[in-house]
Structure 1
Amino acid sequence: MKINNYQNKRDILIVDDLPDNLRVLSEILIERNYQVRKAINGKTAIRAAQLSMPDLILLDIKMPEMDGYDVCKELKSNKKTAEIPIIFISALDDTIDKIKAFEVGGVDYVTKPFHVEEVLARIESQLTIQRQKKQLQKEIEQRKYTEEILHQSRAVLSSVLNSSLDGIAALQAIRDNSTGEIIDFRCLIVNPVIAKVFGKNKNDLVGKIGIRKIIDKIDNNLFNSLVKVVETGKSLSTDLYYQCDSLKYWFHFIAVKLGDGCSVTVKNITSRKETELELKKINLDLETFSRSVAHDLRNYINNINFAGNLLAEEINLDGSENEKELIDIINLSCDRTMSILEGITQLSQLKSEPIKPISFNLSPLVSEILNYLQNNEPRINIKFMIQDDVFVNADRKLLNIAIENLIKNAWKYTKKTDETIIEFGEIKSTEKLWQEKIKLIDISPLQFKQKSIYFIKDNGIGFNSVLEKELFTPFKKLHGDSDFDGTGIGLSIVRRIIELHDGVIWAESQLNQGAAFYFILATD
């Protein structure tokens, strides 16, 4: 604590050739909590000041060898000591002596004999000025540093803006003085790319009002959209079509609130958009073609099936067993081909199906499907374990299709078991089991944080876990047709529906130990 007090004391160097004068001034200043050093002549004073600069010097004029004026000149000529304030204290009272003291660099002059309070006031005044000078110097240096950083930042920003392949601009809202409504925008920053988009020169835009007219030429609704960004803080991200003379462009337009205005980024996506539109057209043509082919094939298959049934009626009367078997093969093949066509049609339609998520209870749907299957294909030993009130947020129509496929899959592969066990439920993200099951797939748990896992389990034949990646591949069947009928499309449809909900589905199984299907819905 004593060290801190010592460091906080103001250091004053007293220079006088008379010991009595040094003693009197020292006692006065020490009593007022100043730190005092003393020098008996000019040379000693200069060495002391250079060795450790004092905050202020009290300097006598009349001294042997080197008078006060010469001491002051020497100190002021040295860059290190030039800024030390010097107060002359002398018995010389002539105006010319005082003028000379100020000419050589003194900041004040006190005549002997002096009043103690006057000396203290003058000392404190000069120390205050010195503190203020140092503070001002610090602020000047800090300002220079800040200006240099700002200059460098502006240079970097300018380089980034001018070299960016994307259009970048910052707009400030212009409001009506009476209503406060945004009536226009002022362009604060703009780079050459966005200036070109606007059909203007960069210098014609910066600082100018009237951006609304330019924006309206690109899109009539764009100005209102930008106003909404500023007023609500909700960002805008959209694709815009813009035609300038004979040239046609597509831009991806992003606006983000920035103060009382917004920052704008514009990316030319003309090439990508044209490719997307062309692909969309090709896909539409392919869908139309596949529907047409499917329709024609259905007609042909129905004709074959009808002819087969007519033949079956005739053969049943006097035909051989071999002929009857061939007719059965024809009819079965027709039925399987029709099922495949239905699956292909359903899968192709899912690719462009827009989802409409709503909240609904999934448990009654599962019960309904299982009861339907039991009524159509009665089994003696069955056990359904359905968790009550499992709510999801999803497209009801699409999820119904997915759940129906998963349950029919479980029903099919449990037909050879002594007892059919099918379980449906939900694993909440707060449960320990959630962490165990999420590790089975190659995704980050954070991706579906707070999302429940839904599952359908059975005790059927299961499958080899090595083949899990092939499970959702269209037309891929892990078991032979002779054991279990099917088209191999059902699980592909399920995966597509889950993906439309930005979700993920996976399975867990061992051969002859049942199978479990798990899925998460990002819309949930």
Structure 2
Amino acid sequence: MIKILIIDENEDHRYFLKYLFSNENEILKALEFNEEFKVYEAKNGLEGIKMAQLYEPNVVILEEKLPEMSGIKVCERLKLIKRDFDIPIIFFTAVNDLNTKERAFQIGASDYIVKPAHPYEILIRVKKHLDFYNTQKKLKQTLENYEKDLKIARNVQKNLLPKIKKINNIVFDYIYISSHNTSGDMLEIIPMTSNKIFAYIYDISGHGVTSALLSIIVKQEIDRIINNDKLTDLKEIILKLEESVKEYFFDGRYFTGIFSIISENNIEYVNLAHREVIFLKNNNIEYDNRTDFPLGVGLINENNINIFKREIDKDTFVIFYTDGILDMTNFTEKELHNIMVEKEYKNIKEIIDTLKEEISNHLDWNFPNDDITVLALKQEE
């Protein structure tokens, strides 16, 4: 049912409008109004405001010239009472004044019709504003539902992150700051044997709930490959991962990542179209930016995966990160490297805390444009 509120002192005018929205009016059928109307009448502005609050009409038809309170004032009050009072307010008035028209639109009126007007014109303009209002209402509801879905997706991703900061002889810490639309970043440390761990970071392309869902799927597959299939060869792990998840990636989607196996004094890693691996030791920084194809697009095979190995010791920090940190305004790769060497860090926490402070200063409490994820690891002293 469509609820119409008519605010007009003139009883004849109210009767005319009330008839327009009655079932006897054939024009309604011609204009394809598919619902019946319920009409409410108010003789002055104050009564009209009370009825608008009580009955929550779908359309208000308002005379400008009212006793005690003008139509302009009524419109202003309706907009002030509820910020989301965005229902169509249509002036239907004998006042044909340019300044009044301009003021009516400034305060939020949807239309301004000067009396007298043909019934067809009145109804077709009411229908136009009703259709627009209903479309906006549906869009608003859709956006609200999408915001709820995004919030759930962000929380689910966050809850999947590591809860502890030490596995075997590896201590680690991380930063994870989700973008508003979430971009599917993920990191994890998984024990393989008593002296070996599997550490990774990855970034799903795109944004939104789909990216979050794909991120969860990829994480589940990695957990299964390491914990259930018990694979320990890095090349086999990547090939198995690519084969098990590529069916979920289409329409240009893919993901990049760094995947590594760390044992005592040694790291074995593969970089799949991701940011460089950073090695930091005694204020000296080295980075390896050699990369291969991304995952999820079927390009990886056993002949084009490059596995890199490097010796590390207890003074070496290993740092993985996603490119969200470089999407911050006025923050470059060079600045990231400068932060790494500006002082001699004693432990993982110092590095992470320094980066957190720098990120906080750049974001100023806003969501980042892209997920920001940093993982730092080090062998225990």
Q: TM-score range by the shorter chain?
A: 0.3 to 0.5
Pick 1 or 2: higher relative contact order, CA cutoff 8 A, min separation 6.
2
> Which of structures 1 and 2 has the bigger CA Rg?
1
